[in-house]
Amino acid sequence: MIIVKGGVTTPKGFLASGVKAGIKKSGRADLALIYSEVPAVASGVFTTNVFKASPVRVSIANLRNKTHQAVVVNSGNANCANGKQGDKDAFAMASFISEAMELTRSEVLVASTGIIGHRLPVQKIKDNVPHLISELSENGGSDFAASIMTTDTVKKEVAVKIKLAGEVVSIGGAAKGVGMIHPLMKKGGHATMLGFLTTDVSISKACLEAALSEVVEDSFNMVSVDGDMSTNDSLFILANGLAGNRRISLKGKDYLAFLAALKFVCVSLAKMLARDGEGATKLVEVTVLGSKDADSARRIARKISTSNLLKCAIFGEDPNWGRVAAAAGSSGIDFDPNKTDIYLGPAKVLSNGSSMKSFDKEKVRKYIKGKDVFIKLDLKSGKHSASAWTCDFSKEYVAINSEYST
Amino acid sequence: MIIVKGGVTTPKGFLASGVKAGIKKSGRADLALIYSEVPAVASGVFTTNVFKASPVRVSIANLRNKTHQAVVVNSGNANCANGKQGDKDAFAMASFISEAMELTRSEVLVASTGIIGHRLPVQKIKDNVPHLISELSENGGSDFAASIMTTDTVKKEVAVKIKLAGEVVSIGGAAKGVGMIHPLMKKGGHATMLGFLTTDVSISKACLEAALSEVVEDSFNMVSVDGDMSTNDSLFILANGLAGNRRISLKGKDYLAFLAALKFVCVSLAKMLARDGEGATKLVEVTVLGSKDADSARRIARKISTSNLLKCAIFGEDPNWGRVAAAAGSSGIDFDPNKTDIYLGPAKVLSNGSSMKSFDKEKVRKYIKGKDVFIKLDLKSGKHSASAWTCDFSKEYVAINSEYST
């Protein structure tokens, strides 16, 4: 696998664009489109929030179709808690694209991010669709990534290439965060986590769905900025087959190679989301080792990564590892505290449940001043592990989120 | 029921004290004692954290005894993650009191709050026990309440009197917070939530346990400052029988009257904890109505009360109610969003899952500038309800918690 500069337009046959439709008060780009030149198989996973935004409901319905060619996205408005009008507006947004591009409406997927409870400005979207389509380009990945941003400070894009039985297959991705980030997406959020994956691999829809469902658990579903699950979280993948590889329809060697590359893309985007979390100054990676099963490891890692107290300590560059223990112990997963070791960066700070007297406190103090903080918990009770990603918790986060709707 | 000025020494036969033992760096009072002149029945509920502090383990063990006469508490050190040495030290702390007061060791309960992973300074405690005992007084409730404080800005005390078949019965209480506050205490949790209840009611140990277990669910277990569950959370009650009422040993009329008064005391202390939460400028009460069962109502209310985004909005006096919907929908409890109403103070902002266009935005903006913010969710799907208490989330919270261990 090689990492290449690029994003959603790196795989063959994908075009993208992003324009200013006047949805955001800031006047920045807020309407974006991905288009596959040939019909693609698609899959998606979405927020498990009871309050699902209208675009989420529309995309879930449209994904029953066999093929898809477009994903249209707006930022600046979540189109959530708008009742039946919201659903009508999300359908209308898909229809503007399907009509202009001669697709069926269910071949178009839709996503929104922004404030909850304000009606989507459909007329602005309709007025800007011709421009959005005319801007579609093989080099449009970057405009796409910019147009889906809300409180993001940087674009989040990645692309890789792998060889499957001699054919080069590409996977590209773009995502946005970076508040209300605590996704738990399954088949079937304001800022909000949105992810878009494209690939030219030839794969069956069933295999694509299986791959996405598996990969999301150890990537996007392990990111948390603030512990708040959005109403709009959505992750899409489109596979158009233009790489010409032998079609993947079974979970064999090619599938596993594709899965590994897809996981790399998703984890890379997940870490970008955490690093750019609202107000963040550091990326925090929490790894739980020695767990009796993978789900327990995930739950403990995720609980630690959502500790406000720990994240405040990391912002303050204070090696207060007791907060790691307290958070781990409150995950609802039973484990033996007297077998547990905790590492803060290079230093073992807890050994068999008892604090280490001898670790090099100066080394740890220096370590925690860096941009990346790694925390490791070894339960010594099994062979499973999981990692979660978050950021520190700063005064800036509070500032950003105390003045959002006004 | 009447509310009286007082605390843990309001019920007959209870003495208390608080002194400076040099455990806290600040030099403030940090060692406290409650003493009942006659043997009392006692009960306790404790953190469900896997990492339970040593004093929690010692108190759970000692509660197997039939009667108790003392509770000794230190602030400034949690005595958690100290392995077997920690357990020895917690036992020693109880022994200093039992030996000096001629009690058996298991008649003494113990609690600690402060930093995790530092050894308890037992010698300082031992040296100050004589002074602690000599200071015991009928008017010592207030010194007790002051000595258990960590980041608390105010003492938390309450006392009530009720009549049971002609006899006046008193219940007093003291508590401390105000960070790492998200207790889930059951029978058998740095700052830390500690609560101490005293009463002169005559009641069987079994009835006292039942009352405490019932009341904690709708009071202390519904408070959250930061979503972080402590390793030291403890709530104790001692009942010494000196009121001379007909002994309560069945769940009859007297029990229910006692239960109602006890609930009032616990909810009062719980709200004091939330109002004084680290960095707090407002008390937030979240009530969920119309739930199919009480537990669902509690879980939804508690999820809303732990939304960082909502709490930042309230700090910013920004009526961003969409965050209430998003948090409610992520509780893991299924409900019908299309039947749900949300009220922000006096205004209905969501009706049957759809945002209200017509509410008086100026009225809501004015409302949210007050010191108390009430949020109500009506699921219209049943007869059960629950309330949760929290505070807003300020830059000051981050400041307090980014420099704790250093």
Residue of A nearest to B400 (CA): A312
Residues of A with Cβ-Cβ distance to B318 under 8 angstroms: 402-406
Identity of the residue in B329, B397, B402 whose CB atom sits nearest the CB atom of A231: B329
| Maximum Cα interatomic distance, chain B, rounded to a whole number of Å | 70
CA distance A232 to chain B (A): 9
- Crossing angle of helices B122-134 and B83-101, rounded to 10°: 20
pLDDT confidence of residue B186: 80
pLDDT confidence of residue B189: 36
- Crossing angle of helices B253-275 and B205-217, rounded to 10°: 40
Q: What is the mean pLDDT of residues B109-132?
A: 96
Using the beta-carbon criterion (under 8 Å), do A329 and B51 form an inter-chain contact? yes
Residues A90/A58, Cβ–Cβ less than 8 Å: yes
CA distance A132 to chain B (A): 29
Residues of B with Cβ-Cβ distance to A390 under 8 angstroms: none
Express as a percent the part of chain A with pLDDT over 70: 98
Mean pLDDT, chain A, rounded, equals: 95
- What is the tens place of the pLDDT at every residue in B255-302? 999 999 999 999 999 999 999 999 999 999 999 999 999 999 999 999
pLDDT confidence of residue B188: 52
CB contact B179 to A (< 8 Å): yes
Residues B49/A330, Cβ–Cβ less than 8 Å: yes
pLDDT confidence of residue A190: 45
Residues of B with Cβ-Cβ distance to A313 under 8 angstroms: 401-402, 404-405
pLDDT confidence of residue B161: 97
Q: Which of B9, B113, B150, B192 is catalytic?
A: B192
What is the per-residue burial (b if ≥16 Cβ within 10 Å, else e) of A202-224? Answer: bbebebbbbbbeebbbbbbbbbb
- Under CATH, which number does the domain B283-401 receive? 3.10.20.340
Lowest mean pLDDT among A118-122, A144-148, A230-234: A230-234
Identity of the residue in A84, A349, A404 whose CB atom sits nearest the CB atom of B318: A404
Instruction: Count Cβ–Cβ pairs < 8 Å, chain A vs chain B.
Output: 245
Q: Look at the alpha carbons of A95, A101, A106, A111 in this order and tell me if their dihedral is positive or negative.
A: negative
CB contact B78 to A (< 8 Å): yes
Say how far residue B364 (Cα) sits from the centre of its chain.
31
Cα–Cα distance for residue pair A355/A322, rounded to 1 Å: 9
A309 pLDDT above the threshold of 90: yes
- What is the tens place of the pLDDT at every residue in A241-275? 999 999 999 889 999 999 999 999 999 999 999 99
Q: Which of A9, A47, A150, A192 is catalytic?
A: A192
Helix extents (H) in B65-159:
83-101, 122-134, 141-147
Q: What is the pTM of this model?
A: 0.91
CATH topology of domain A2-273: L-amino peptidase D-ALA esterase/amidase (3.60.70)
Structure tokens at A356: 């280490």
Identity of the residue in B82, B307, B316 whose CB atom sits nearest the CB atom of A402: B316
Q: What is the mean pLDDT of residues B310-327?
A: 94
Q: What is the mean pLDDT of residues A106-122?
A: 95
- What is the tens place of the pLDDT at every residue in B198-211? 999 999 999 999 99
- Under CATH, which number does the domain B2-275 receive? 3.60.70.12
Query: What ipTM, to 2 d.p.?
Result: 0.90
Structure tokens at B262: 């006890």
CA distance A264 to chain B (A): 28
CA distance B159 to chain A (A): 32
pLDDT confidence of residue A80: 95
Query: Euclidean distance between the first and final Cα of chain A, in Å?
Result: 46
Identity of the residue in A320, A394, A401 whose CB atom sits nearest the CB atom of B309: A401
Q: What is the mean pLDDT of residues A295-306?
A: 97
Q: For chain B, how are helix, strand and coil distributed in percent, rounded to 5?
A: 35, 30, 40
pLDDT confidence of residue B382: 97
Q: How far is CA A319 from CA A353, B49, B299, in A?
A: 17, 21, 32
E strands, B65-221, are 68-77, 108-115, 156-164, 167-176, 185-186, 194-199
pLDDT confidence of residue B328: 96
Q: What is the mean pLDDT of residues B151-180?
A: 94
* Per-domain residue ranges of chain A: 2-273, 283-401
pLDDT confidence of residue B191: 62
Which has the closest alpha carbon to A49: B111, B18, B323? B323
Residues of B with Cβ-Cβ distance to A319 under 8 angstroms: 405
pLDDT confidence of residue A187: 74
- What is the tens place of the pLDDT at every residue in A12-66? 999 999 999 999 999 999 999 999 999 999 999 999 999 999 999 999 999 999 9
CB contact B150 to A (< 8 Å): no
The residue with greater pLDDT, B367 or A179, is B367
Say how far residue B303 (Cα) sits from the centre of its chain.
18
Q: Is A104 a catalytic residue?
A: no
Residue of B nearest to A393 (CA): B398
- What is the tens place of the pLDDT at every residue in B19-71? 999 999 999 999 999 999 999 999 999 999 999 999 999 999 999 999 999 99
The single residue listed with the structure tokens 């795989």 is: A11
Q: Which residues 8-47 of B have a C-beta within 8 angstroms of A?
A: none
Residues B298/B222, Cβ–Cβ less than 8 Å: yes
Q: What is the mean pLDDT of residues A81-102?
A: 97
What lies within 8 Å, CB to CB, of B126 at 6+ separation is B92, B96
Identity of the residue in A308, A350, A398 whose CB atom sits nearest the CB atom of B394: A398
Q: What is the mean pLDDT of residues A211-226?
A: 95
Residue of B nearest to A85 (CA): B354
CB contact A361 to B (< 8 Å): no
Band (A357; pLDDT cuts 50, 70, 90): confident
Q: How far is CA B72 from CA B37, B90, B111, B128, in A?
A: 15, 10, 7, 12
Q: Which residues 223-262 of A have a C-beta within 8 angstroms of B?
A: 226-231
- What is the tens place of the pLDDT at every residue in A271-285? 999 999 999 999 999
CA distance A49 to chain B (A): 5
Residues of B with Cβ-Cβ distance to A190 under 8 angstroms: 309, 322-323, 326
Cα–Cα distance for residue pair A237/A304, rounded to 1 Å: 30
CB contact B308 to A (< 8 Å): yes
